[in-house]
Structures are given as C-alpha cells and as structure tokens.
Amino acid sequence: MAKKSAKEKLQEIEEQMKRLKEEERDLKRKAKAEEKKKRDKLCKDTGELIEKCFDVEHLSLEERELLFSSISSYVNNEITQNFPRQQDDSEVENGGSSEDELKEPTVTSSVREFQIS
C-alpha cells in the first residue's frame, strides 16, 4: 500500500471534520426537537390542569388572560411561599448555595391544598 501524501491526509481530515460538523448539527437539531416536545407536553398538561380546576371552557382566550392576570399576584405569592425554587447544579457551581445550605422548607408531596383567606 502506497504511503499517503500530506495533501491526501489533509483532504481526509477535512472530510472527517465536515462529517463531524454535520453530526454535531444533527445532534443539536435533535436535542432542540426533544426540548420542544417536552415544552409542548408541559404546556398541554398545564392547560388540561387549568381546565380541570377552573370552569374556563366557555371563556375566550382574552377572557382567560384577564382572569389569570387578576389572580396571578395571589397565585405567585402562594407559589413563592409553598414551593421554593430548587437550585440546579449550574447555580451551585456559579456561587449559589448548595442544597444543604437552603433554610427554606421543601415540598415533598405531589399534592398540596391551599387555604384562601
């Protein structure tokens, strides 16, 4: 077998780089599609929960927006008090507190009832 010239080796490397770039692009596209699928499912599930908990089927989109805007302050306050955000690993690495250092209680139950005062 003849020894490959530098030009042939360079061409092979360039072809390999091209294949790797295409593979990278395909993997990024696939990851983006998977994230979109997760987001779409979350939105669908959230909408189903809203329709299950509230009698909003007869309301238009604008009426629903008005309703949710009017209760958002109360709901966001309840979320903050009862469901504190958990830090992910990137926040811990970037100087945030570790989970051991969190003083706020965490919710472990999948069901929570709220009392309206």
Name the pLDDT band for 108 (thresholds 50, 70, 90).
Answer: very low
SS (H, E, C) the chain: CCCCCHHHHHHHHHHHHHHHHHHHHHHHHHHHHHHHHHHHHHHHHHHHHHHHHCCCCCCCHHHHHHHHHHHHHHHHHHHHHHCCCCCCHHHHHCCCCCHHHCCCCCCCCCCCCCCCC
Name the pLDDT band for 92 (thresholds 50, 70, 90).
Answer: low
Weakest-pLDDT range from 47-51, 56-60, 90-94? 90-94
pLDDT score for 93: 60
